[in-house]
Amino acid sequence: FERLIEQLPAIIYETDAKGRTVFTSRPEWALYGYPRVDWEADPDGMWRRALHPDDRPVVLAEWDAAIRDGVPHNGHYRMVAADGREVWLWEYESVVRDDGGNVVRREGVAIDVTAQIEAEQARTEAELRYRVLVSAAALGALEPTLPLFLARELQAGATTVGLLFAVSTLAFAITSLVS
């Protein structure tokens, strides 16, 4: 059973009532690449420091509120690995209470969903490229230099979103002139 848990792309954890780490099934240092000694010395501080800077204020506010209010902390956020890559996590948690209703511990799992997020981002980017190509093909009949313009812009490093905006703007201009 232990081997099964250690192979999951997730961290199963337990904290005390105040949110201090008591147990993790898979050491964070293994998932994020930071020195083991740093995680073992201060797992809660390392977790806070490894949170993605753009997510840190929101995640910490949600975590602090969940501790204060005695409710589970469930969320979707990024960690920054030692090598700089982003690790996306979905976190699900339950709160364990004693007979008096007091929180005695928190149990949760943080699942690595990086591959799913990256696949969704790639799908979105591909969809945007498709829209640019369809728009460019339609406009190419009205403006023959458009395919050359798009090819030059792509070679120059233009973003797909920027090109979609340019094509949309050009489409509006052409249809205004034609009408």
Give pLDDT tens digits for 66-124: 999 999 999 999 999 989 999 999 999 999 999 999 999 999 998 889 989 988 888 88
- At 124-177, the pLDDT tens digits run 877 876 766 666 666 555 555 666 666 666 666 666 656 666 666 666 665 555
pLDDT of 9? 73
DSSP alpha helix (H) spans, 70-159: 114-140, 146-155
Q: Identify the sign of the CA torsion 55, 110, 103, 46.
A: negative
* Residues 72 and 95: beta-carbon distance below 8 Å: yes
Helix (H, G, I), strand (E, B) or coil at 160: helix
Range 18-43 average pLDDT: 77
CB atoms within 10 A of CB 24: 19
CB atoms within 10 A of CB 166: 18
Q: How far apart are CA 85 and CA 122, in angstroms?
A: 16
Q: How far apart are CA 55 and CA 90, in angstroms?
A: 13
pLDDT of 36? 74
Range in 7-11, 48-52, 76-80, 139-143 with the lowest mean pLDDT: 139-143
Nearest Cα to Cα of residue 39 among 61, 11, 58:
11
Q: Which residue has the tokens 């099934």?
A: 25
pLDDT of 126? 77
Structure tokens at 18: 């105040």
